[in-house]
């Protein structure tokens, strides 16, 4: 299926590894020129090499979405090198684990800056040009915790749910301008984050038993969903939060 986005400019944050890199690859495979941003310079350089194999133009910006100044800078540099952003994939690493009584004000502030306000600032940085051109796709990447609270992940439960609320609100405001806004909620995906939370390969494998399809997911399975939502093929889809969790969630939308 031709997704109709060849030649579009995509900006993917958290794009040096895991789901972010997988999304960048899926978009590059569809012919997008891609800018990836992340905090780790070595991983970012490796990501560029991998993305260049798809033949499009690739750029990288070293940045941390937790920094209030980074969103405007990343968007401006993408525009200068590749052109105005057509597709934004707002992705950031999850906040630390912990229950409500385990985390303090500093942890709350950091999680809100990275996982909520970082996304808001990125959208502000690219939205005006999308609206003026009459075309844009914004895909946020949150997690299953945006739909169903997960024990021991209060920061994720709160900030991911807040992003989903932004998506629902913004979609109603800008749909008439040709800008579609969606949210992807990955479940248990084989990333560094999940491996850290699981505490070892054996425990990681055991988690797959909890998933109806019988295994944990692969990053590229989320990346392909992101690319589909960012495409012309979803021209009547906006405001949705889509689970990509192998059927694990017990909550019905």
> How high is the pLDDT of residue 151?
93
How big is the chain by its Cα radius of gyration, in Å? 17
> How high is the pLDDT of residue 202?
65
Cα 92 from Cα 189, distance rounded (Å): 14
> How high is the pLDDT of residue 195?
74
Identify the segments of the chain with pLDDT beneath 50: none
pTM of the model: 0.94
> Taking the alpha carbons of 186, 164, 79, 95 in that order, is the dihedral positive or negative?
negative
> How high is the pLDDT of residue 206?
74
Cα 240 from Cα 243, distance rounded (Å): 10
Q: What is the pLDDT of residues 135-144, one digit of tens each?
A: 999 999 999 9
Cα 180 from Cα 203, distance rounded (Å): 38
Please, what's the b/e burial string for 11-45 (b: 16 or more CB within 10 A of its CB; e: otherwise)? bbbbbbbbbbbbbbbbbbbbbbbbbbbbbeeebbe
Domains of the chain, earliest start first:
9-191+220-243 (3.40.50.720)
Scanning 112-191, the segments in alpha helix (DSSP H) are 118-133, 154-174
- Token readout for 176 is 């008439």
Cα 129 from Cα 136, distance rounded (Å): 9
**Coil, strand, or helix at residue 63?**
coil
Cα 156 from Cα 229, distance rounded (Å): 23
Spatial CA neighbour of 230 closest among 13, 30, 54: 30
> How high is the pLDDT of residue 252?
66
Residue 195 main-chain phi, psi, to 5 deg: -65, -35
> How high is the pLDDT of residue 210?
84
- Token readout for 145 is 């915790």
> How high is the pLDDT of residue 79?
98
**Rounded to the nearest 10 degrees, how much is the dihedral formed by the CA atoms of 63, 223, 53, 191?**
70
Beta strands in 30-178 (DSSP E): 33-38, 58-62, 87-90, 136-141
> How high is the pLDDT of residue 200?
66
> How high is the pLDDT of residue 123?
98
Cα 132 from Cα 121, distance rounded (Å): 18
């Amino acid at each position: 299926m031709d997704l109709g986005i060849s030649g579009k400019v995509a900006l993917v944050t958290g794009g040096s590894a895991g789901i972010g890199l997988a999304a960048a690859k899926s978009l590059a495979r569809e012919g997008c020129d891609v800018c990836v941003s992340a905090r780790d310079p070595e991983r970012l350089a490796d990501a560029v090499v991998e993305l260049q194999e798809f033949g499009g133009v690739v750029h990288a910006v070293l940045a941390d979405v937790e920094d209030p100044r980074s969103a405007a800078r990343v968007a401006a540099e993408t525009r200068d090198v590749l052109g105005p952003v057509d597709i934004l994939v707002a992705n950031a690493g999850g906040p630390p684990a912990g229950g409500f009584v385990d985390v303090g004000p500093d942890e709350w502030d950091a999680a809100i800056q990275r996982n909520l306000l970082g996304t808001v600032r990125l959208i502000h940085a690219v939205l005006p040009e999308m609206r003026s051109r009459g075309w844009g796709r914004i895909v946020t990447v949150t997690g299953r915790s945006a739909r169903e609270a997960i024990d021991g992940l209060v920061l994720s439960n709160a900030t991911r749910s807040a992003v989903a609320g932004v998506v629902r609100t913004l979609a109603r405001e800008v749909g008439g301008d040709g800008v579609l806004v969606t949210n992807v909620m990955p479940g248990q995906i084989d990333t560094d984050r999940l491996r850290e939370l699981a505490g070892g390969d054996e425990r990681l494998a055991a988690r797959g038993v909890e998933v109806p399809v019988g295994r944990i997911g692969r990053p590229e399975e989320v990346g392909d969903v992101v690319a589909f939502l960012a495409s012309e093929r979803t021209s009547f889809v906006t405001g949705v939060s889509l689970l990509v969790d192998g059927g694990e969630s017990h909550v019905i939308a």
